[in-house]
Structure 1
Amino acid sequence: MEHKVAKYIQIKEDIIGDIKSGLLQPGDKVDSESALKKRYNVSTITVRKAFNDLISEGYLMGVQGVGTFVTKKQMTRGLTSISFSDELLQQGYQIGMLVDLIEEVRNPSVAEKLEIPADQSMICVRRVRLANDEPIAYQSSFVDSRILSLDQAERIRETGSFYKTLKDAKIFPVWASENYSVKQVTDGRIAKLMNMKKNTDTFFVKRLAFDEFDKVIEYAETHFNKDWYSVTINIKI
């Protein structure tokens, strides 16, 4: 006996199928409620149920008075991996990186976070993270120059991953603490690299990464494009 699928589920599955096949692209307008009502021979309530589910699940977005559109696919952090590259790969993205700057610097406030002397130099690696060839984040990582040299840091241009570069230098972060806030991109050059206007709001993440002995290895600051980024936290009760 054939199992009968609820109409709103059928509408959802058809739209998701069109998105996954590429028939519907990010930014495309989907058929109107009235068009879907006629096609599936259903009520307005049924169509709206499908739309509401698709919006809450991140597939669609509604613009009042205009219509319903396919959203950009967001990179969802599950907070299960230290490596940003690994998380992107697990979600099916094509990843890339544009190295902006690698330099040896001194910064007392960052040195305090790394728990090193205020006048101790550190290596700073600044890069743009790409997903499907679009910039989604600007990251700045700081590491004590006594454990990571400038020459070692330059290997990121070959490895394409900061954490692979650390691993090659025998540096092994095993856990991290992150602080999330909303912060504007006030640096015009960074905004240009991220293809956004200056003073645009971004998710701003400050990270401390630790080794197995709970020693601070890295301090990082990242601007994430809010249109591409979300965080999921699972809480066990």
Structure 2
Amino acid sequence: MEYKVPKYLQIKQDIIKAIKSGDLRPGDKVDSESVLKKKYNVSTITVRKAFNDLINEDYLIGVQGVGTFVTKKQMNRKLTSISFSDELLQQGYKIDMQVDKIEEIVNESIAEKLMIPHTQSIVCVRRIRLANNEPIAYQISYMDSSLISIEQVQAIYKNKSFYKTLAEYDIVPVWANENYSVKAVNDSQIAKLMNIKKNTDTFFVKRSTVDEAGKIIEYAETYFNKDWYSVTVEVKM
């Protein structure tokens, strides 16, 4: 005997399929109840059941008087890995990175954070982190130029990963210290690259990364889009 899929489940499965294939992207408005009623030849109750399930499962979000939209799934950081890319991959995201700028600078404040002489030049790598083709973070990494040169760090264009690039020169981080706060993006260029309005609040993370010998090998500052990012901390009693 052939099993007939309930209409509400068919609507639900079709919407999930469209989201996973990319036909429906985060923030897209889905068809209205009236459109789906005609398309599937069903009642309002059937469409609402499908919508309710999808909203409860965080695929959709309903905005009263406006419509129903595909949610922006948050990247939930569990603080178990030094590599941001690894955490995104573990959660099923398609990841990418775009380099904004690579430059060599002298900065007394950053030098202090790296615990190097104030006059020592610093390699600065600015980049956008993407998840499912959406910009979710803007990262700025600073390193002592005596550890890696501005020519060597160009390999990031090929590797699409800062830490893979460091590994090519036997620079291996083993632990990191991170400080979290809320900070508005007041740089119009950074806001544009993050696809947010200037002065929008973000999660701001200051991070010092250390090698096995206890030397600070990187100081980084990252703006995380708050619509895409959350942190989970597990505490044992």
Give the shorter-chain TM-score range. Answer: 0.7 to 0.9
Partner of 1:157: 157
Q: Closer, same or farther in 2 for the Cα pair 1:198/1:172, shift >3 Å?
A: same
Instruction: Report the Cα distance in structure 2 between the residues aligned to 1:151 and 1:105, rounded to whole angstroms.
Output: 14
Structure 1 alignment gaps of length 5 or more: 1-11
CA–CA distance in structure 2, aligned partners of residues 131 and 23 of structure 1: 16
How many angstroms does 1:63 deviate by? 3.0
Q: d(CA) in 2 for partners of 1:28 and 1:74?
A: 18
Deviation at 1:13, TM superposition (A): 9.4
| Cα deviations by residue, 1:7-59 (Å, 9 ceiling, x for unpaired) | xxxxx999878855778653345877xx9xx97989x9x999968854xx6x4
The one-letter code of the counterpart of 1:171 is: I
Partners of 2:62 and 2:135 lie apart in 1 by 24
- Letter matched to residue 218 of structure 1: E
Going from structure 1 to structure 2, the CA distance change for 1:65 and 1:235 (only over 3 Å counts) comes to: farther
Letter aligned with residue 174 of structure 1: V
| Aligned residue in 1 for 2:4 | none
Structure 2 counterparts to residues 127-146 of structure 1, below 5 A: 127-146=127-146
Distance 2:109 2:189 in 1: 23
Aligned AA for 1:142? Y
Aligned residues: 226
1:195-234 equivalences in 2 (<5 Å) = 195-234=195-234
2:172 maps to amino acid: F
Distance (Å, rounded) in 1 between the aligned partners of 2:79 and 2:60: 24
CA contact (8 A) 2:111 2:120 kept: yes
Deviates more, 1:78-87 or 1:159-168: 78-87
1:191 counterpart SS class: helix
SS across alignment from 1:155:
helix
CA displacement at 1:217 relative to structure 2: 1.1
Show the counterpart of 2:186: 186
Residue of structure 2 in register with 1:9 after alignment: none
How far apart are residue 220 of structure 1 and its match?
0.3
Determine the structure 2 residue equivalent to 1:5: none
Residues 1:23 and 1:115: Cα distance change in structure 2 (over 3 Å): closer
Q: Secondary structure at the match of 1:193?
A: helix
- The amino acid across from 2:206 in the alignment is K
Partner of 1:123: 123
**Contact 2:141/2:221 (CA < 8 Å) preserved in 1?**
yes
Indicate how the Cα distance of structure 1 residues 224 and 50 shifts in structure 2: closer, same or farther if over 3 A, else same: same
Map of 1:171 onto structure 2: 171
Contact 1:30/1:70 (CA < 8 Å) preserved in 2?
Answer: no
- Which residue of 2 is the match for residue 92 of structure 1? 92
Structure 1 residue 236, shift from structure 2 partner:
2.0
| Alignment TM-score, normalising by the size of structure 1 | 0.78
Letter in 2 for 1:233: V
Q: Which residue of 2 aligns with 1:8?
A: none
TM-aligned CA distance change 1:101 to 1:47, over 3 Å: closer
The offset of 1:201, in angstroms, is 1.5
Overall identity of the aligned pairs, in %: 62
Residues of 2 paired with 1:154 and 1:18: CA distance?
Answer: 38
Secondary structure of the structure 2 residue equivalent to 1:119: coil
Displacement, 1:182?
A: 1.4
2:99 and 2:113 map into 1 onto residues whose CA distance is: 24
The alpha carbon displacement at 1:98 in A equals 1.2
* Counterpart residue identity of residue 158, structure 1: K
Which residue pairs with 1:110 in the alignment? 110
